[in-house]
Amino acid sequence: MIHKFAQMVADFLCDNDTIKEEEKEIYIYGYEIIISNIVNFLIILSLGLLLHQVIDGFLFYIVFVITRQYCGGYHANTYLKCNILFGTLCLVTLCFSNMLYDTSFISLFILFLIYIGCILEYAPIDNEHKKISAEDKKKYRKISIWISILWSAVDIVLFCTAKKYAITLTITLVIIAMLMVIEINRRKELLE
């Protein structure tokens, strides 16, 4: 459905001589990305409003999107599955961030180490539809590590000032790590 809608927009632009026929593929791809992003954003907003945790929802979204851009990980094979998974992961994060409010710094630190371990071991993981060149892999690996350092600093500040958000941030990072491990294991199984 998202692809069809993106195609409609591109066709409309082509019919109005705004874009060339040979460039339509690029525009369809761009609109698919935009539309799926909007859908995900609305999912986050809805869940945030429902659970009265809008800021946690946005924090999850921002951390998830920025980190995954460079580290990659598991992706579902259809838009619907991806949206359901994304919504579920957001819901899990928001629920756990409430439940784990009394978590100590040591526990959060251990969870953070799990995330760091996955980044150092696996990042970046490309997608079957979007292969990354060797040069880009080196670059994304460095960026993933720098982003991790940034999140660690943000996590410490949040733990001292707004602990709940530190927990949300850490859980999001653990989820990202889990998705990386799932993808690696999925590929190992495919090879066997």
Partner 1 sequence: MKKDLLRVIAKLGYNSAIKAAGAASRYGTYQPEEPEVLQKLRKDK
Which residues lie below 8 Å from residue 67, measured CB to CB, with a gap of 6+? 144, 147, 151, 173, 176
Q: Would you count residue 36 as binding partner 1 (CB under 8 A)?
A: yes
Nearest by Cα to 22 from 31, 14, 32, 30: 14
Q: Would you count residue 30 as binding partner 1 (CB under 8 A)?
A: yes
Site for partner 1 in 62-121 (CB under 8 A): 64-65, 68-73, 75-79, 81-83, 86
Tokens of 31: 């609109």
Site for partner 1 in 120-139 (CB under 8 A): 124-127, 129-130, 132-133, 136
Nearest by Cα to 56 from 166, 177, 149, 178: 166
Shorter beta-carbon distance to partner 1: residue 22 or 189: 22
Per-residue interface string for the shown chain with partner 1, residues 2-21, x marking contact by CB under 8 A: -x-----xx--x--x-xx--
Least Å distance, CB 108 to partner 1, is: 22
Distance CA 90, CA 61 (A): 8
Shorter beta-carbon distance to partner 1: residue 74 or 159: 74
